[in-house]
Chain A
Amino acid sequence: EAQVTQNPRYLITVTGKKLTVTCSQNMNHEYMSWYRQDPGLGLRQIYYSMNVEVTDKGDVPEGYKVSRKEKRNFPLILESPSPNQTSLYFCASSRYNSPLHFGNGTRLTVT
């Protein structure tokens, strides 16, 4: 089944404790991206990657890191999480000029 898989689905952590949210797609898509969804703000792009070893900032990249060492994986790293990073995170992938496929989301709470 074609899918984008994110882990974990739910995560509660404390301020400053490094964490990684994994994202993997099995569709051989070139493009991958991370979004966060917040009430009243919709979906905002954090980082994206056009292909392996190519990453770029989206609209809200502060406090996040990403890497794209393999085509299928695009982890999101929070080196020192803060409470304002409490949000619902979505990973997505696509071929060029095709609609995005989204994962089911990771709900992160930073206390």
Chain B
Amino acid sequence: DQQVKQNSPSLSVQEGRISILNCDYTNSMFDYFLWYKKYPAEGPTFLISISSIKDKNEDGRFTVFLNKSAKHLSLHIVPSQPGDSAVYFCAASPSGGGADGLTFGKGTHLIIQP
């Protein structure tokens, strides 16, 4: 049973526009959510996170929104830049941001078109 779902394997967005990546989860015990970004031939790198006590967290061009009732979170990138082309993994944890029990989605490949 997949507890963290990223239903879009890939997403193509024009440079300068908004990219919206979606993630759904099923386990109500998850209370901390993270997004990781991965370039080819590199390991994933932490991008942004959000605690379940918040519904929004912003860091520069990146904003994560959390809808607990819908068990849904999204990552917004505005404006999208060519360097944003990468695979994005959504992850969820029941332990307040810790790596213990961290569950990843399958990833969404974001392609920024010039």
Give A residues with C-beta under 8 Å from B.
4, 31, 33, 35, 40-45, 48, 50, 90, 92, 94, 96-105
Instruction: Pick the 5 closest A-B CB pairs, nearest first.
Output: A102-B43, A42-B106, A99-B46, A43-B104, A97-B98
Known: A41-B106, A43-B89, A105-B41. A100 touches B46 (CB 8 A): yes
Interface residue total, chain B, C-beta cutoff 8 A:
23
Is A90's CB under 8 angstroms from B49's CB?
Answer: no
Is B99's CB under 8 angstroms from A31's CB?
Answer: yes
Bound Cα distance A33, B44 (Å): 13
Is B105's CB under 8 angstroms from A42's CB?
Answer: yes
Is A31's CB under 8 angstroms from B100's CB?
Answer: yes
* A43 proximity list for chain B (CB < 8 A): 44, 89, 104, 107
| Residue contacts A-B, CB under 8 angstroms, 9 given | A35-B104, A41-B106, A42-B6, A42-B105, A96-B98, A98-B98, A99-B97, A101-B46, A104-B43
Bound Cα distance A35, B104 (Å): 10
Bound Cα distance A99, B105 (Å): 16
Bound Cα distance A102, B43 (Å): 5
Is B89's CB under 8 angstroms from A94's CB?
Answer: no
Bound Cα distance A105, B41 (Å): 7
Tell me the residues in window 76-114 of chain B with beta carbons closer than 8 Å to chain A beta carbons.
89, 95-100, 102, 104-107
Is A40's CB under 8 angstroms from B98's CB?
Answer: no
* A101 proximity list for chain B (CB < 8 A): 46
- Least CB distance, B7 to chain A, in whole angstroms: 12
- Least CB distance, A32 to chain B, in whole angstroms: 9
- Least CB distance, A2 to chain B, in whole angstroms: 12
Q: Which of A4, A44, A45, A48 contacts B43 (CB 8 A)?
A: A4
Q: Which of A42, A44, A94 contacts B99 (CB 8 A)?
A: A94
